[in-house]
Amino acid sequence: MGGTGTVVSQFLNLSSSSSSYSPRFLAPSLSCAASTLLHSRFSLPSIRSCTSSATATPSTSSDTITPPTPLKKRVVSGVQPTGSIHLGNYFGAIKNWVALQNTYDTLFFIVDLHAITLPYEAQQLSKASRSTAAIYLACGVDPSKASVFVQSHVRAHVELMWLLSSATPIGWLNKMIQFKEKSRKAGDEEVGVALLTYPVLMASDILLYQSDFVPVGEDQKQHLELTRDLAERVNYLYGGRKWKKLGGRGGAIFKVPEPLIPPAGARIMSLTDGLSKVFYFDLFSCLCMYIMLMSKSAPSDQSRINLLDPKDLIANKIKRCKTDAFPGLEFDNPERPECNNLLSIYQLISGKTKEEVVQECQNMNWGAFKTLLTDALIDHLRPIQVRYDEIMSDSGYLDDVLAEGARNASEIADATVNNVYQAMGFLGRR
């Protein structure tokens, strides 16, 4: 679940502000010294990532996993199978994954379990999941460097969610603004339980893999608060000496993840309104679509460029996009949001610097610039579309990639779940 490389699109917060969500247990806002003291007092040293296990069933003391230290830090993220991956997803998440996979131990998954919290067509879910996976690969995610898989193919996601739910105070979830607002506006009969418990599944997605980092935008760090607080809470309730007395390793059960904030960059806004951001749906923001659908404010397809849009449709969208009547083109004029947005898209697509774009475009009229932008978009997306078609035409290859990714992910996930079962006192199974 993450912004990246960098476009940071608007998310709806998990809480109305950092102050509205106030966990009472080992909050990550503690000072470094205080945090160190608490970890020392409760015997909660940091652990490295789990890398092997046999099953996701309760284990006996002899099955405790003592994993080796990985060579790389681990990063996890995912995008929901919306069926229309667009430039916001691409620059906000997927493009940066391509860079991250060369530096980190990476797991990128299609968060299909989150997708069913939305109104959706059951017949389309598997198709959208395959399409999203193919787009990951077409954009440059390399399955030899990153584990690419479908979330529901690793059942430990839901299993850990249930265990975490038992340790999650209902008050923490009741304070989440999206649940409060939608239950008030739509009524209890129209809002599913998943809207309340969604953040626990999100925490499970991250903690399951003993993640070091989760890609988020600078303004999205608060999205990790609940996950971090749950990790600290479970570590305190069941880790340390308590776990060791049950025959376990002792120490921390979960690694407490940190935000991985990409370099600041331009933001992709709507083609029909330069003041409205284009949502991208990653691990932390796929709930936004649910809220927009419930409020009947989902953005139109005309507002964005999808990665699989044919060239004629791209040309039509750019031709019809909103502009202004000012002469010349310029960045950062608050009276010209559409101009800034279109120049930013061109900068990202062309790979040029802001100064180079200014030099090239400052004296252009809108007609000339729209032609330039259209050609740049078509040229940039053509290789992705060609590769996507190749991958989708070879279903065996895609199935193999997803199966291998799920196996790799399950080794880590099963080790984590086994340790949680043991630390929580479950009877092991032989």
Cβ-contact 118, 191 below 8 angstroms: no
Catalytic residue among 182, 255, 317, 370: 182
- The number of beta carbons lying within 10 Å of the beta carbon of residue 382 is 11
The residue type of 24 is: R
Quick one: DSSP state of residue 90? I
Task: Give the three-class secondary structure for 363.
Answer: coil
Q: Give the DSSP H/E element, type plus range, for residue 35.
A: helix 32-41
Token pair 């120490």 is at which residue? 251
Q: Which of 107, 409, 407, 421 is nearest to 253 (CA)?
A: 421
Token pair 């391509």 is at which residue? 98
Cβ-contact 124, 115 below 8 angstroms: no
182 flagged as catalytic:
yes
The residue type of 286 is: C
| Dist. CA 332–CA 225, nearest whole Å | 32
| Dist. CA 368–CA 316, nearest whole Å | 15
Q: How many residues does the chain have?
A: 430
296 flagged as catalytic:
yes
Retrieve residue 23's tokens: 């966990």
Catalytic residue among 95, 175, 255, 277: 277
| Dist. CA 415–CA 50, nearest whole Å | 6
291, 293, 295, 299 alpha-carbon torsion, rounded to 10°: 100
To 5 degrees, how large is the angle CA 223–CA 345–CA 310? 105
370 flagged as catalytic:
no
- The number of beta carbons lying within 10 Å of the beta carbon of residue 334 is 7
Which residues are designated catalytic? 182, 277, 296
